[in-house]
Structure 1
């Protein structure tokens, strides 16, 4: 993998752009950065990480285990407030809910996203693993393609692409040259552009950061998330991540995306499923 300046967890652009200011206990002010937009909307994974940080501060357990989010209205760069509430606190798991609001022209609050999540301690989990899951089969990093490999700008590219280091499996980039495969698959290597290693919080971004599988189905345009559930399975090892996303059914103007995230130690570190509106293109 090519050399890059290495940012540290807690001192990277991702951390600065997900920083929160506590207004009162459980209520946090935030500034949604324009650096994480897709076209004009703020990326759903970035929003999930913001809410995840708030819940990690408000709940007694540190790590997200499962986070389910409903996206109610599109978010835009600017000021926001996150309101959290503890639902139940147990010995090994705490459950809480959080909502992110922005402000209408008349100053009233507009809810953008609502989350229900359970938190625990990933470091306290047992080591026993029994699985049939396997890492995605794809070429080495050097043989995968970044945005610069296309003959023209990748459709839907925007500010967020400058903050991510994504190299896509050539078998899933036919859409970029007008020849989509029709298989509804997207695979690639993933990292943050400043070299920050992954942690449980950034995994909430990772599951929603690759181009949508609808591109390989021959559809172009915005694919807004309706609902996204993410499971964080273990703390990722340092190094690049591999992400595999599949869609098996597009019907009635909606599609599902199932994502798996694997770390450099060949461990399944996160899984997600989302329902999204299919592009109209």
Structure 2
């Protein structure tokens, strides 16, 4: 555990074997809901403590109800342990004012040791082409009366995010219709990226729905992340695309690349959108 705000806010405390207490911070909210990538990192940290392997290789979450800032409990269960991989499941729950328990998300994950993987890479994937950081734009670059979205956007203060101008038409009232979002990503306090923060990175950019001309909250239904390597120091590049919006749902496919041009994480999520 480091002293970064991300580390403090994803910390879990073991109450009993397999059961962990967490305190979901209001600092990672958007439109009054706790960000899904941050929630996955909280559960991911609990599973890293519960399982014999340190790194998430694949982690899938179903978001059942919107989470609120405040106390939460993560219950984990070890499904299988092996030499190279261990598999576990977890549920994050919160309690209503009347004491009723509500499950927020349920996770199934396989963990291993990224440092033990061979160096061989054979890929046709190519990193996204982004303008230099100084030619990209973040929340601080917008006019004061246009910053943020209705409700809380506290998460923006904890991210270092510079978006490709080609995917910012929505901010000017001229969405491109391409369903793409690209940008440079890091944590605002300079904490280096690691496998746990990659779970946040895949869900930290504005929704691709904005570039499709839609507005409002885009809640995640399901999110699966594949962590492929431990990122080297330096800013990350994140590219997200949507190819199909139908029936009020869309998919978002994300790639995260480190400063050594390595594909360090991939994800796909299904999200609900509000149609006009």
TM-score (norm: length of structure 2): 0.97
8 A contact 1:214–1:279 mirrored in 2: no
For 1:249-264, what aligned pairs fall within 5 Å after superposition? 249-264=244-259
Quick one: which of 149, 159, 164 aligns to 1:155? Answer: 149
SS at match of 1:258: strand
> Which aligned pairs between 1:1-281 and structure 2 lie closer than 5 A?
10-151=2-143, 152-155=146-149, 158-281=153-276
Per the TM alignment, residue 68 of structure 1 is displaced from its structure 2 partner at its CA by 0.3
Equivalent residue for 1:5? none
How far apart are the structure 2 equivalents of 1:219 and 1:123? 41
Task: Give how far 1:276 is off.
Answer: 0.1
2:83 aligned counterpart, secondary structure: coil
Distance in 2, matches of 1:135 and 1:155, equals 30
Q: Is the 8 A contact 2:18 2:76 kept in 1?
A: yes
Q: What SS does structure 1 have at the residue aligned with 2:128?
A: coil
Deviation of 1:97 (Å):
0.1
Q: Is the 8 A contact 1:164 1:190 kept in 2?
A: yes
Q: How many residues align?
A: 273
TM-score normalised by structure 1 residue count: 0.95
Alignment root-mean-square deviation, CA: 1.0
Shift of 1:280: 3.4
Runs of 4+ with deviation above 3 angstroms: 154-157
Deviation at 1:78, TM superposition (A): 0.6
Q: Note the C-alpha offset of 1:38.
A: 0.6
Distance in 1, Cα, partners of 2:139 & 2:173: 15
